[in-house]
Chain A
Amino acid sequence: MYNMVDVDVSEKILTPDKSMDIVWDRPDLLIDVPNHYCPGCSHSVVHRLLMEVVEELDIVERTIGIAPVGCSVLAYDYLNVDMQEAAHGRATACASGIKRVFPDKIVFTYQGDGDLAAIGTSETIHTINRGENIVMVFINNGIYGMTGGQMAPTTLEGAKTSTCPEGRNLDLMGHPIKIADMIALLDGAYYVTRQAVHNSKSVRKTKKALLKAFQYQIDGKGGTSFVEIVSNCPSGWKMTPLEANDWLAENMFEFYPLGNIKIPQKEE
């Protein structure tokens, strides 16, 4: 759907000077096309990390991803793995179906806050309660980005969106939901962690968390691995990317503190 400029591969990849090492490269599994995400959006960073992890663990031949409804509905345009797009909120039911019939496959869902913590809350809770051995990647940016910036279940108190233009009023609109803390109480949850990708240090930590989550699935550990990534939405928040990252660090982490929420018992 995007006009791709034909680029000669030899022109695109600069021949490295043999005296220099390549310290940064695009993972092969991250499809080399312009993406539709807004400048500065966390999605592109997480997409890259995911494909690095699939590549490093050498599991592309058995990996199946589930794209949700939301900004990342077109994730399969960028992630070069087999993917199914699920109905809004149903990603984990879809993943459960695959994993139960084909336990050797590596299955992950990639969901936003509206998908995972509003319309799909039932599927989220019951998938994890069954202890489905899948990885759930949860992008929490506190807003409905794709539909134009409406209030999400995770929108912070006082935050302005197009459906709470005066700011989220807890008396009228309820409280932001800490879904990761909720599901960590379920016996089927194996690994629950909350990370971010707003600076290079947090990106490295998120990569480690994703590697762990996928490794647990490969090892067939008993339960669901859940990686929440507190993310920005510069367009929805009406900020520049840098402002959005600063706002995120100053406001989101207080309510959604980073760190492990549940880790496998022997590692505690």
Chain B
Amino acid sequence: MGQKRLMKGNEALAEAAIRAGVQGFFGYPITPQSELLEYMSKELPDRGGTFVQAESEIASINMVYGAAGAGARVMTSTSSPGFSLMQEGISYLACTEIPCVIVNVMRGGPGLGTIQPSQGDYFQAVKGGGHGDYQLIVLAPNSVQEMANFAFLGFDLADTYRVPVLILADGALGQMMESVEFPDYVVKEHLTDKTEWATTGRINGREQHILTSLHLQPEDMEKINKILQRKYREIEAKEVRYETLFTDDADLLIVAYGLSSRVSHKALELARKEGLKVGLLRPQTLYPFPSTALNNFADKVKKILVVEMSAGQMVEDVQLAVEGKIPVEFYGRMGGMIPQPDDILEKLRKMNGSKIKSALNV
């Protein structure tokens, strides 16, 4: 580990990506992720990589498609409206099994929305987002340190499984400054042998490499889908990551990711002072989702509260995971508003004392 540095989340992620050996960055300015793009434009060319400011997010993601398809470790970053524009390209990346890292520093929506932090893109991130049956590995950092850590992890997972990996942050994580340490990292060349599939030119007269998502015979297209689905089952079995806090004696379990988990942690501390037995489960991977862990918790705790900066999106996955064993309640803010610890505390107090009504009680 190196020296501690005080950095913005966006910058820490960019610095980590450079240390992870990123060869190309393609991006377009949009608040609140622009520092990532700016950091890359300043640092990457001097450190052996290529930076291109594209004319749109559509172009960025297709530059990623080209360069990653040719075997390079590359990435792009954006914020919510730009992420919508990228969906077509991401669908192509998923189908052609091209590894890359995509960053979405979410802001309030829908539409042009706000530039304040939000988690309103959860569905788009974890349910595919573009057309067709596919998944991205979705990493959800909740600190500047994790913004950095997940850049390394993201590239490694992308290469291991030949999938696009999405780092799903929000405007607060991108903008906030915290101390961060960068681990010693060596690019793990053995994760995937890109020479087997990358379009590099037919070196030494080898067989032609083709990257395409067009398979006109439905039998062939179904085969491709089955390959993808097998891979997703493997990812679900091996790559679930989450963190738990104070869950040993908990009656009430908060489930929250990203910035919401930070606020929820504070609410948990306040609740514990009042004697409420509250725990926290924080998914670090939103896909694959920690469904089994949650299902097990449903046998131990009495109620679950899902806290999100959205109208209630992850709450659906929590409900599916607990299979109706216990009540699942929701507290959320939308459009760039951030939940406050006191409001979550009030919700916890009510849950502790009352029977549960509707889940989607925004």
User: Which residues of chain A have a CB within 8 Å of any CB of chain B?
Assistant: 1, 59-64, 66-67, 73-74, 76, 80-87, 90, 93-98, 100-102, 105-106, 122-123, 125-126, 130
Contacts and interface: CB of A to CB of B under 8 A. Distances in A.
Nearest to B212: A85
A51 to B, nearest CB: 12
Interface of B: 23-24, 26, 50, 52, 54-56, 58-60, 62-70, 72, 74, 88-89, 92, 96, 199-205, 208-214, 216-217, 220
Given A74-B214, A84-B212, 12 more contacts: A1-B217, A61-B205, A62-B200, A64-B70, A83-B208, A85-B210, A86-B62, A90-B59, A96-B52, A98-B67, A100-B50, A101-B24
Contacts of A122: 55-56, 58-59
Contacts of A86: 62, 65-66, 92
Nearest to B200: A82
A66 B66 contact: yes
A93 B24 CA distance: 13
B63 A100 contact: yes
B54 A93 contact: yes
A147 to B, nearest CB: 14
Contact of B59 (A1, A67, A93): A93
A102 B213 contact: no
A101 B201 contact: no
Interface hub of A73, A97, A126 (most chain B Cβ within 10 A): A97
Nearest to B215: A1
B201 A82 contact: yes
Given A62-B201, A76-B212, A87-B92, A102 B63 contact: no
B55 A126 contact: yes
Nearest to A80: B208
23 contacts: A1-B217, A61-B201, A61-B202, A64-B200, A67-B212, A76-B208, A81-B208, A85-B210, A85-B211, A86-B62, A87-B65, A96-B59, A97-B52, A97-B63, A97-B65, A97-B68, A98-B66, A101-B23, A101-B50, A102-B67, A105-B70, A125-B55, A126-B59
A59 B201 CA distance: 9
Contact of B199 (A73, A84, A87, A126): A84
A73 B211 CA distance: 12
